[in-house]
Amino acid sequence: MLAGELRLHGVRTLVVERDAEPTRDVRALGLHVRSIEIMDQRGLLDRFLALGRRYPLGGFAGISKPPPDPLDTAHPYVLGIPQTATDRLLAERATELGAEIRRGCALVGLDQDDSGVTAELADGTQLRSRYLVGCDGGRSAVRRLLGVGFPGEPARREWLTGEMELTAPPDEVAAVVTAVRETQKGFGVGPSGAGLYRVVVPAEGVTEDRSIAPTLEEVRQRLRIVAGTDFGVHTPRWLSRFGDATRLAERYRTGRVLLAGDAAHVHPPTGGQGLNLGIQDVVNLGWKLAAEVDGWAPDGLLDSYHTERHPVAADVLDTTRAQAELLSTEPGPQAVRRLVAELMDLEEVNRYLVEKVTAIGVRYDVGAGHDLLGRRLRDVRLTRGRLYELMHRGRGLLLDRTGRLSVAGWADRVDHVVDVSGELDVPAVLLRPDGHVVWVGDDQAALRDRLPAWFGAPVG
């Protein structure tokens, strides 16, 4: 995703990928509202909709409630799509835009100076770049080489997972799963397509090295203990294990090296926020890093990546911690779960929790003023189409209902669209490339004062 964002701005970009082939592991299962909006803003959503399935919003820690209506989005659904498909679509997008992807290249060393970063690969190759971003997962080599602290809690629980075939009939599988999930919310067996089932079952304990995949026999044994049957599992496509470790990098930037995605934060998968958090990280970062490379970034713009995204991750970590506790079978957490279920019958509580999980509620501190400031603007209909159709190039955008404003001096970075919308009751809004509002008003002088803070000095 980051490679695609950088290429929108013409930044030469190389992706160095350790694995020789794309993974078959399906760890993430879908996109939440904010990620769906991002794909729409970049003209990618149709590709995802063609391979995904829409599911209703609602619920928290497996507590099912109808979603509040209306939500501040044109996409009030979860898009079920396997991570493997998401990876492929984003890789195709990056290469279409001119990014280079080198597979089978593991990074083993890095060194930086005032002008750039030297990366050393396992085969002895050295690469030189102006910036390097570690998007290399929870066991990030980049984070380790930087010496960035990763405080938090180690895993206390572990689950075995994978895709495999079953001999048990579907109705029997569904009945057993329904019964087990009455007490074991972390258990699941369900169809994942092509005759395969995705299995998630609690492990006996926590292993020292979760990079070592479980055996099929280990999965069978745990299924018999937890569900009373192994469903006749056989022919696994892949097997893996995951835990509930919760950690957050102390800083997202060290000089010319930055961290994003799981390299910056890990947490329990409850609520399906991990992949989405990473996508949203790099859409915040991409245009800022491109601005730095292109030379027009105002002071502090690149540092605002940490300032804005670190607190968002901290909040997601707390949310997943809370959901993990509510999934416990112990009497205390179960009592709290019943209380939360009652509170979620209140629309304000239900809305608050849904907006947390979907990232609709994320608001950056861009200064005081109108309620829209700092929030991402939903896709609104205009007289000549939709707002998100105007954001495919990843540039800033002034949506001007007055027709009296101008972005002269910033036209190489900011599009000016004069149009009206019955869904927007303000004269004009200035949007960053990631869709967040940084100015609202109708005064040209005020607009000219605001533009440099996000888009640098005017040209000409």
DSSP string, 120-172: EETTS-EEEES-EEE---TT-HHHHHHT----EE--S-EEEEEEEE--S-HHH
Query: Which among 378, 374, 394, 381 is positioned nearest to 436, based on CA atoms?
Result: 374
Boundaries of domain holding 444: 381-455
Pick 185 or 336 by higher pLDDT.
336
- Per the prediction, the chain carries an average pLDDT of 94
Question: Tokens 């820690």 belong to which residue?
Answer: 61
Q: Are residues 266 and 124 in the same domain?
A: yes
Question: Is residue 210 over pLDDT 80?
Answer: no
Average pLDDT over residues 405-411: 97
Q: Are residues 287 and 212 in the same domain?
A: no
Q: Are residues 270 and 216 in the same domain?
A: no
Tell me, what CATH number does 44's domain have?
A: 3.50.50.60
The last residue of a domain, from among 220, 243, 266: 243
Q: Are residues 23 and 127 in the same domain?
A: yes
Pick 460 or 82 by higher pLDDT.
82
Q: Are residues 239 and 108 in the same domain?
A: no
Question: Is residue 206 over pLDDT 80?
Answer: yes
Q: Percent of the chain at pLDDT above 90?
A: 83
Compute the distance between CA of residue 166 and CA of residue 163 in angstroms, rounded to an integer.
Answer: 10
Bridge-partner residues for 162, per DSSP? 199, 239
Question: Is residue 27 over pLDDT 80?
Answer: no
> Residue 453, SS3?
helix
pTM for the whole structure = 0.92
Q: Are residues 229 and 257 in the same domain?
A: no
Q: Are residues 230 and 143 in the same domain?
A: no
Indicate the range of 109-113, 272-276, 337-341, 402-406 predicted with least confidence: 272-276
If pLDDT is split at 50, 70 and 90, which confidence band does 312 have? very high
Average pLDDT over residues 46-59: 93
Report yes or no on 122 lying in a domain.
yes
Which backbone phi and psi does 323 adopt, to 5 degrees? -65, -40
Report yes or no on 367 lying in a domain.
no
Compute the distance between CA of residue 217 and CA of residue 210 in angstroms, rounded to an integer.
Answer: 17
Q: Percent of the chain at pLDDT above 70?
A: 100
The last residue of a domain, from among 210, 243, 276: 243
If pLDDT is split at 50, 70 and 90, which confidence band does 273 have? confident
Q: Which pLDDT score is estimated for 359?
A: 95
Question: Is residue 23 over pLDDT 90?
Answer: no
Q: Which pLDDT score is estimated for 286?
A: 98
Average pLDDT over residues 260-287: 93
Question: Is residue 447 over pLDDT 80?
Answer: yes
pLDDT digits (tens, 9 = 90+) for 349-395: 999 999 999 999 999 999 999 999 999 999 999 999 999 999 999 99
pLDDT digits (tens, 9 = 90+) for 88-112: 999 999 999 999 999 999 999 999 9
Phi/psi region, residue 369 (left: phi>0; alpha: psi -120 to 50; beta: rest), is left
Evaluate whether 305 touches 288 at the Cβ level (below 8 Å): yes
Q: Are residues 234 and 279 in the same domain?
A: no
Beta strands in 2-65 (DSSP E): 14-17, 30-31, 53-56
Pick 109 or 323 by higher pLDDT.
109
Report yes or no on 369 lying in a domain.
no
Q: Are residues 347 and 265 in the same domain?
A: yes
Compute the distance between CA of residue 16 and CA of residue 26 in angstroms, rounded to an integer.
Answer: 21
If pLDDT is split at 50, 70 and 90, which confidence band does 418 have? very high
Compute the distance between CA of residue 395 and CA of residue 91 in angstroms, rounded to an integer.
Answer: 21
Strands 396-400 and 158-165: unpaired
Question: Is residue 211 over pLDDT 80?
Answer: no
Question: Is residue 247 over pLDDT 90?
Answer: yes
> Terminus-to-terminus CA distance in the chain, angstroms?
33
Encode 282-315: b = buried (16+ Cβ within 10 Å), e = exposed.
Answer: bbbbbbbbbbbbeebbbeebbebbbebbbebbee
Domains in the chain: how many in total? 3
Q: Are residues 142 and 193 in the same domain?
A: no
Tell me, what CATH number does 411's domain have?
A: 3.40.30.120
Average pLDDT over residues 277-302: 98
Q: Are residues 105 and 207 in the same domain?
A: no
Average pLDDT over residues 128-137: 97
Evaluate whether 16 touches 121 at the Cβ level (below 8 Å): yes
Compute the distance between CA of residue 255 and CA of residue 454 in angstroms, rounded to an integer.
Answer: 21
Average pLDDT over residues 199-207: 90
Indicate the range of 62-71, 129-138, 401-410 predicted with least confidence: 62-71
Q: Are residues 132 and 7 in the same domain?
A: yes
Contact partners, residue 201, CB within 8 Å, separation at least 6? 159, 160, 161, 187, 189, 219, 222, 223, 226, 227
The last residue of a domain, from among 209, 243, 277: 243
Question: Is residue 34 over pLDDT 80?
Answer: yes
